[in-house]
Amino acid sequence: MTTGTHVIEVKNLTKRYRDVVAVGDVSFTIEKDTIYGLLGRNGAGKTTVMSILTAQNFATSGDVRVFGLQPYENAKVLSRMCFVRESQKYPDDAKPGHAFAAARIFFPHWDQELADRLIADFQLPMKRRIKKLSRGQLSAVGVIIGLASRAEITFFDEPYLGLDAVARQIFYDRLLEDYTEHPRTVILSSHLIDEVANLIERVLVIDRGRIVMDEATDAVRDRAANIVGDASAVDAFVQGRQVIHRESLGNVASVTVLGALTLADRERLAAAGLDVAPVSLQQLIVRTTQHAADQSALDEGALR
Amino acid sequence: MIEEGRALFLQIAESVEDAIIDGSLAEEAQAPSTNELAAFYRINPATAAKGVAMLADKGVLYKRRGIGMFVAPGARELLLGERRTAFAVRFVDPLLVEARKLGLTPEDLELLIRDRASVPAASTTEGNAR
């Protein structure tokens, strides 16, 4: 559903908190009507980026455009975006109905029928004050607002906290269903990478304030492979390839290499009696960010 | 159903191909829509669309304007040919490698295959070889 038009354009965005660089000179674009996965470790800068894009935080420097405009104090832009925060605060005496009523006023495409259906799906107690809801029920309030607002751009910042596996599946299913009927841009930040791997069309991986991956999810899926078997045979095969991870037990080694395997590679592996195991998106991202961390530790060590 | 490490759209295309090969999706029958595939496999509709587009490019599916995608006449033959060619690489080669490791000659294998084929299929449910 990639149309090639950008709804968000970020150029050289930097955010500094005193002497800590939360986001360092980041540039990327977000395409219209596409589901993105914004992935990365805690403290990598995901929430900072999302809050700057939604004008809830200021950039130290750089240019941010949403629908071609600056989002700050720009009601025309803000009413077309919905940001579901992990730690959204509500007034003390508010009940879920109050939050939904406010969202209904704010978001022009709000769909009450969808909201009602989701309230039933998540079995949300409507008579209880939000303050008294469980963590999972609080997350459900956010998820309902995020989906029913049908905003042109919706950010979900780790929307699943406290949601059990069943409730998360409801969220993923409803998101896909509603996205199919009403295509829009969704940016989903999550640590449960394998759970969202099939939903997201593009991956943006942010690591220590920098974008380290910005690609189509499908292109990433066969990006890496684990080669397992006799250590010397494994090492012979991986020579000259980019190795991002290696572990061994006795004389058996398991090495993660980057680069799709060709048919010739596979024949060579079979002849050498080596096994090839797929690398999931989650493993790939863990390995890539680990690898980057090790590399920079090495670089820093070399500088000393 | 969906495995790691392989492009999703290829797996979606393969699932449709499998249905055509085993006859559950007949030629000239309407193929599942992009949205149906996306909902069933719980994947992004753009990915499902890519799989369907690949099958259309290959001539396995064709579009009837305003109605949807249909299985092209001759699609089954086309796919059978393709799969038979791939069969040697995907199944026979690994079999030979393992056999060699165990000291089984091609003659031993032939006997083994005949022997197994004459037994009614009971414990052959391990069908996830790729």
pLDDT at res. A89:
87
User: Do B53 and B17 belong to one domain?
Assistant: yes
- Asked if the C-beta of A215 comes within 8 angstroms of chain B's C-beta atoms, the answer is no
Provide the percentage of residues in chain A whose pLDDT is more than 70.
95
Cα nearest neighbour of B95 on chain A: A270
User: Do B69 and B86 belong to one domain?
Assistant: no
Cβ atoms of residues A148 and A168 within 8 Å: no
pLDDT at res. B32:
95
User: Do B38 and B64 belong to one domain?
Assistant: yes
| B8:A222 CB<8 A | no
Nearest to A296 by CA among A76, A24, A6, A104: A24
Residues of B in contact with A225 (CB under 8 A): 5
User: Do B42 and B85 belong to one domain?
Assistant: no
Q: What is the mean pLDDT of residues A279-292?
A: 84
The dihedrals phi and psi of A221, each to the nearest 5 degrees, come to: -60, -40
| A200:B44 CB<8 A | yes
Residue B108 is part of which domain span?
A: 76-118
Domain annotation covers residue B127: no
pLDDT at res. A2:
43
Give the mutation candidate from B2, B3, B4 for the A interface (greatest A CB count, under 10 A): B4
Domain annotation covers residue B89: yes
pLDDT at res. A222:
79
- Per-residue pLDDT reduced to its tens digit, A198-257: 999 999 999 999 999 999 998 888 788 999 999 999 999 999 999 988 999 989 999 999
| B5:A180 CB<8 A | no
Domain annotation covers residue B85: yes
- The total domain count for chain B is 2
User: Do B82 and B67 belong to one domain?
Assistant: no
Q: Which of A88-92, B79-83, B122-126 has the lowest mean pLDDT?
A: B122-126
Q: What is the mean pLDDT of residues B58-77?
A: 95
pLDDT at res. B130:
43
Domain annotation covers residue B60: yes
| B41:A198 CB<8 A | yes
- Per-residue pLDDT reduced to its tens digit, A170-191: 999 999 999 999 999 999 999 8
- In order, the DSSP letters of A100-166 are HHHHHHH-TT--HHHHHHHHHHTT--TTS-GGGS-HHHHHHHHHHHHHHT--SEEEEESTTTT--HH
Q: Which of A222-226, A246-250, B5-9, B32-36 has the lowest mean pLDDT?
A: B5-9
Taking 60 as the threshold, does the pLDDT of residue A300 lie above it?
no
Q: Which of A98-112, A121-135, B112-126 has the lowest mean pLDDT?
A: B112-126
User: Do B53 and B100 belong to one domain?
Assistant: no
User: Do B63 and B52 belong to one domain?
Assistant: yes
Structure tokens at A62: 């750089």
pLDDT band at A124 (very low <50, low <70, confident <90, very high): very high
- Per-residue pLDDT reduced to its tens digit, B90-118: 889 888 888 988 999 999 999 999 999 88
Give the mutation candidate from A34, A170, A173, A176 for the B interface (greatest B CB count, under 10 A): A176
ipTM of the complex: 0.76
Q: What is the CATH number of the domain that holds B46?
A: 1.10.10.10
| A218:B50 CB<8 A | yes
Output the CATH code of domain A221-303.
3.30.70
What contacts B125, CB < 8 A, 6 or more positions away? none
Nearest CA of chain A to the CA of B41: how many Å?
9
> What are the boundaries of each domain within chain A?
6-218, 221-303
User: Do B93 and B103 belong to one domain?
Assistant: yes
User: Do B68 and B83 belong to one domain?
Assistant: no
Domain annotation covers residue B69: yes
User: Do B98 and B46 belong to one domain?
Assistant: no
**What is the rounded CA–CA span in Å between residue A253 and residue B1?**
29
- Chain A, 257 to 286: residues with Cβ < 8 Å from chain B are 263, 267, 270-271, 273, 277-281
Fold of A6-218: Rossmann fold (3.40.50)
Taking 50 as the threshold, does the pLDDT of residue A292 lie above it?
yes
pLDDT at res. A3:
46
User: Do B114 and B59 belong to one domain?
Assistant: no
Residues of B in contact with A280 (CB under 8 A): 4-5
Give the mutation candidate from A32, A177, A180 for the B interface (greatest B CB count, under 10 A): A180
| A225:B5 CB<8 A | yes
Residues of A in contact with B50 (CB under 8 A): 218
Domain annotation covers residue B101: yes
**What is the rounded CA–CA span in Å between residue B8 and residue A127?**
43
User: Do B105 and B70 belong to one domain?
Assistant: no
Place of tokens 């906290």: A161
| A273:B3 CB<8 A | no
